[in-house]
Amino acid sequence: MWEDDTIAYVGTGRTDLGRLEPGAQADLVAFLLDDVRDGVQDDPVRTFLLNGTARQATHSVVAGRPATTDDRIPGTDLPNLRRRAQPLSETMRAAYGERDLRRRGAGELFPLTFPPPFPSTFPPYEETSR
């Protein structure tokens, strides 16, 4: 890509940057650009910069090690993280009333935007002021 590998790294003193080979600090990211929402495919870099999001990243390598493979973070149990995050979110939501000047409850501060299709699947929110 560069005529001289050092052009992009002048002054860093790092010999492990700017190349893909064993021992180098290789950082790579691969993105999918196959969705109609990505727009016209005239230039992949322009298409991604104008229309892309991080959700399109399918593979990433940081310091030569895979960080994301096939849209997944190796060794991460995503369903378990989601299960653990929900109660934390509910605790944070409930605590907003403590910082609210009028001491409103979560139901008043965060009203649903539409009725839930299956009310039993949504946690009950306190509707009264404290």
pLDDT at 9: 56
- Count, in order, helices (H) and strands (E) of the chain: 3, 3
> Does any domain span residue 2?
no
- Average the pLDDT over 70-85 and give the result: 90
Structure tokens at 9: 């790294």
**What mean pLDDT comes out for the span 11-23?**
70
Instruction: Summarize the confidence of residues 26-31 as an average pLDDT.
Output: 83
Domain-embedded: residue 127: no
Q: Is the pLDDT of residue 91 over 60?
A: yes
**Same domain flag for 62 and 91:** no
Which domain covers residue 87, as residue numbers? 78-121
Q: How far is residue 26's CA from residue 127's CA, in Å, rounded to a whole number? A: 53
Residue 51 CB neighbour total at 10 angstroms? 14
Residue 130's CB is within 10 A of a number of other CB atoms, namely 10
Residue 20 in any domain: the answer is yes
